[in-house]
Amino acid sequence: VECDHLIFEKEGVYLHTNAKKSNQDTSIPGFIRIVERAGLPALEWSPLEDDGRNAPAVLYSKKDGDGGEEDTNFDPGYEPDWAVISTVKKEREHVPVKSSGQWAFSLPLSELYSLRRSRFSLGRNFLVLTSRGGHPLPPLHFHRGGTRELLRALQRYIILDPSPLDGRLFLAYPQDSGTLPQSFDRLQFLEDGGNDLVSRFIHDPYATTFGGFSKVTNFFRAALRPPESPIHARTPQDPSLPPQPDEEPGFELITCGVELGPKPDVTRGQPLDKWEEFLDSEGRVTCQEKIKELVFRGGITHSLRKEIWKFLLGFYPWNSTAKEREDILRVKTDEYFRMKVQWKSVSEEQEMRNSLLRGYRSLIERDVNRTDRHNTFFSGNDNPGLTLLHDVLMTYCMYNFDLGYVQGMSDLLSPILFVTQNEVESFWCLTGFMELVHQNFEESQEAMKQQLLQLSILLKALDPELCDFLDSQDSGSLCFCFRWLLIWFKREFSFEDILTLWEVLWTRLPCENFHLLIACSILESQREELIGSNHDFNTILKHINELTMKLDLQSVLRGAEAIYLQLFLCKELPVMVKQVLGLYVPPSSEEESPDSQASETQRLLSQSQEGAAASNSACRPSCP
C-alpha cells in the first residue's frame, strides 16, 4: 500500500465563510496542507476543531526531498471523505472539490487554476483559490503568516505565473507543461488554431479578440501579458530579489489605500456657438486654451464643427493666419491627390501580384458597405458618401502603408467625413485622429494591453470591491472594454453623441487618458447591476454589449470629470494612478516643471462649483 505523504502544513489558517459581509463573517481556524496521495499532490484545508479526527491518514516528512524520516501524525481510523486521484486519464475531466464536514476541502493541484489575493470589507488580505472547473473556494486568511512558504512548497508541483493585469492574481500551470503560454498562438486562442491570429486581428480586431476570450476564458490573462511588464509581481521563484520578512510574496495591491473623498458636483455647459470673436484681424486664434475649455465643457455647435475640428485634429495650426490656412489647404490638396493617384493607377494585373493592397481593398469595400448605413449621408446604394469613405481609406493605405487598413478605421472616418463633407479635409483630419489612436490597430496589440492595464489600475483605486467581483468572475482583465477603447466608444453612443464625445476628448483636457475615465464612469454607473445580479463572465460580457445606445452621454461625461477631480484632490494618490493621468512629477523635476496640470484642474473645479449658469456665461469670448 503506497503511503500518503504530508509535504507541507501550516496552522493558524482561517477559513472565512462570508468574507465580503463583515457583519456576518464566520472565521474557522484550521490547517492548510499539501499532501501527496498515490504520488499525486493535493492542497487541503481542515478545521482545527476536528483535531485530526476528520483528517486523512498522512505521514509527515521531517526532511526535504526523498529519504526523510517519517512519523504517523494523523490517523482517523476510517476512510475520510477526501478527493483522491488514482489514475490520470488522457482526456482529463475536472475533478470536483470534495469536502469533509461542511468546510474542509481537498483540491488536487492538477485542478488548481489560480491563486488570488483579495481585500474585502474586513480590511484583511485573503487568499482565494479557484479550481479549473471555475469553483472559487472560501477565502483563507493566514493569521500567522506563511503564504511565502506555501507558495514555495507549491512550486515543487506547479508553475505560478503572475497576471500582467492584476498583480494579485497568479495562474497555475503544471510543471510539465513546457514553456508558459506567452502569446495567443501558443494558447491556441481560437478553436481552429492560433497561427493566423495576427491576420485575423488586422481584419477584425474586436470580433477576433472577443471570440477568443469567450472560448478560453481561463487563459486570457496570460495571453494578454505584455513583454517586460513593469507590473509583474515578484514571484517566489525569483532568487535575485531578497526576501522581505514583512512582505507577502508575489502580489502587488494596486489600490488607493486612502479615502478618496466624495466626488465633486460637476455641471456641463452649453456648446460653443461663437468663433469669429476668437480670431484677430489676420484670422489667428487668440484664445486657444479658452476654446478648448469651452469645447471640453459643452462641445461645439454643429455649424462650427467643420471649422474647429480642423484645429483640434491638427490640420490647421492654432496660430495660423487665414492666408496661411489657404496655402496649407492648397498644398495638402495636391499631396492628397498624388497619393490617391497611386492606388487608382494600379491595374488589375498589377493588383493580382500585390496581395497586401488587394487585401486592404477587400477589407475596405466590405466595411464601407456596413458603416453607419443608418445615417442619411451613407444610406442607400451608390451613395456618393460611400465612395468618399472608400477613397479616403484607400488613400490612407498609401499614406501609411505599414499600418494599412484595419477594421474599425472606417468607424473613425465616418463622423469626420459627415462633418467636413470634404474628401481632402476629412483625410487630413483622419490622419490627425490616427496620430492619437494608431497604436490601437497595430499587430502587437501592445497599446490595447497597456490601456486595459491602465484602466484596471484606475478602477482598483476607485472601486476595489467592483474589481474583486470582476476578478471572481474571470473578468478582471476588463476585456469587455476592448471595443470601447479601440474605437473610442463609437459603437456605444448615438452618432450625434459621438460627435460631442470625440471633440471633448480631442481637447486632451483635463488630463491624459481621459477616455479611460469615461470607461470608469460607465463601469461605475453599472456596478450595482453587475454586482447585484450574480453575473458570470458571459453574462457580464452580454450586459456590457447591451449598453449600446442606452448610455446618457452627459451623465457619463459628468461622472468622468467628477472621477478625475476626486482623484486629483486625493493627497495620497498612488504613483501608478498619477502616471496614468499624467499627474506624476518626478521629485528631481518638481521645482523646474510648472504645475500647469494643477492650474487647469483648479479652473475646472471652480467652473464645477459655479454651476450651470456660470458655465453658460463662460461662452463669451474672453481670455484670462
Pick the last residue of a domain from 177, 198, 233.
177
Q: In whole angstroms, give the CA distance from residue 70 to residue 47.
A: 23
More confident residue, 134 or 497: 497
pLDDT > 70? residue 113: yes
| Residue 414 to residues 201, 212, 393, 403, 410, Cα–Cα distance (Å) | 21, 28, 10, 19, 6
Residue range 173-201, pLDDT digits in tens: 887 644 333 333 333 333 344 444 444 54
**What whole-number percentage of the chain has pLDDT above 70?**
69
Distance between CA atoms of 92 and 8, rounded to whole angstroms? 26
Nearby residues of 236 by Cβ (< 8 Å), 6 or more positions away:
148, 151, 152, 155, 160, 249, 250
Q: Are residues 289 and 424 in the same domain?
A: yes
CA distance 567 to 310: 32
Are 17 and 127 within one domain? Answer: yes
- Across all residues in the chain, what is the average pLDDT? 77
The CA distance from 182 to 186, in Å, is: 7
Please check whether residues 23 and 148 belong to one and the same domain.
yes
Q: Which residues contact 279 (CB under 8 A, 6 or more apart)?
A: 285, 286, 322
Same domain? For 287 and 428 the reply is yes
Distance (Å, whole) CA 168 – CA 472: 12
Which whole-number Å values give the CA distances from 328 to 166, 410, 503, in the listed order? 48, 25, 22
**Using CA atoms, how far apart are residues 425 and 90, in angstroms rounded to an integer?**
62
pLDDT band at 599 (very low <50, low <70, confident <90, very high): low
What's the total number of domains in the chain? 3
For residue 474, the model assigns a pLDDT of 84
pLDDT band for position 233 (cuts 50, 70, 90):
very low
454 and 545 fall within a common domain:
yes
Choosing from 119, 153, 177, the residue where a domain stops is 177
Percent helix, strand, coil in the chain (nearest 5)? 45, 15, 40
Which CATH number goes with the domain that contains 510? 1.10.472.80
Select the more confidently predicted residue: 156 or 87: 156
The Cα diameter of the chain in Å comes to 99
Q: What is the pLDDT of residues 240-288, one digit of tens each?
A: 333 333 333 333 344 444 678 899 999 999 999 999 999 999 999 999 9
Q: Residue 458: what pLDDT?
A: 96
CA 549 from chain center: how many Å?
Answer: 21
Instruction: Report the candidate in 126, 124, 129, 118 with the shortest Cα–Cα distance to residue 154.
Output: 129
Residue 198 falls inside a structural domain: no
Q: Give the mean model confidence (pLDDT) for residues 420-426.
A: 97
Contacts of 188 (CB under 8 A, 6+ apart): 194, 216
What's the pLDDT tens digit per position in 487-540? 999 999 999 999 999 999 999 999 999 999 999 999 999 999 998 887 888 899
What spatial distance separates the first Cα and last Cα of the chain, rounded to whole Å?
87
Range of the domain at 324: 276-435
What CA–CA distance (Å, rounded) separates 159 from 164? Answer: 16
Judge if the upstream peptide bond of residue 271 is cis by omega within 30 degrees of 0.
Answer: no
104-108 and 98-100 beta bridge pairing: antiparallel
Residues 376 and 409 in one domain: yes
CATH number at residue 121: 2.30.29.230
Mean local confidence (pLDDT), 457-477: 90
Given 435, 468, 492, the domain boundary residue is: 435
Are 401 and 490 part of one and the same domain? no
- Assess if residue 171 is contained within a domain: yes
36, 133: one domain? yes
According to DSSP, the β-strands at 58-61 and 5-16 are parallel
**More confident: 112 or 70:** 112
Establish if 341 belongs to a structural domain. Answer: yes
The gap from C-alpha 129 to its chain's centroid, in whole angstroms, comes to: 23
In a domain, 344, yes or no: yes
Asked if 427 and 457 sit in the same domain, the reply is no
Domain containing 418 — which CATH number? 1.10.8.270
Same domain, 286 and 377: yes
- Is residue 539 in a domain? yes
Residue at 197 is within a domain: no
Give exposure, 456-476, as e/b (b: 16+ Cβ within 10 Å): bbbbbbbbbebbbbbbbbbbb
In this structure, are 355 and 324 located in the same domain?
A: yes
| Same domain assignment for residues 412 and 463 | no
Q: Span 294-315, mean pLDDT?
A: 98
Residue 604 falls within a domain, yes or no?
no
Assigned domain for 224 exists? no
